[in-house]
Amino acid sequence: PWCRLPTTLLGMVDASVGIKVAVNYHRKNGVGHFFSPLHTFIDASFLATLEPADVRSGCGEIMKAALIHDASLFDLMETHGARLIDANFPPDDAVAETIVKR
């Protein structure tokens, strides 16, 4: 068992789900293994240290998930995304917390 403590927005919304070790064989990631962490600890205070490009990268992953799986998440990002990007998803912001935890 293992735990993760991602320190970027991208890590919090994507990579913190699990680790994938795979190779392309007949298709992308055709052969491999996926192992989920026992726990993922999210400490949003790390987000204050990010460069704007890193925050936007994480937002891209949030929008991808929202477009595929969650229309209400898309609506939250559409309404609050620019403000949250400018503020690096502040840890004391309820909307930022909701988005990161989804």
The residues carrying an active-site annotation are 20
Cα–Cα nearest to 41, from 6, 84, 77 = 6
**Under a CB-based contact definition with an 8 Å cutoff, are residues 6 and 39 in contact?**
no
DSSP 82: H
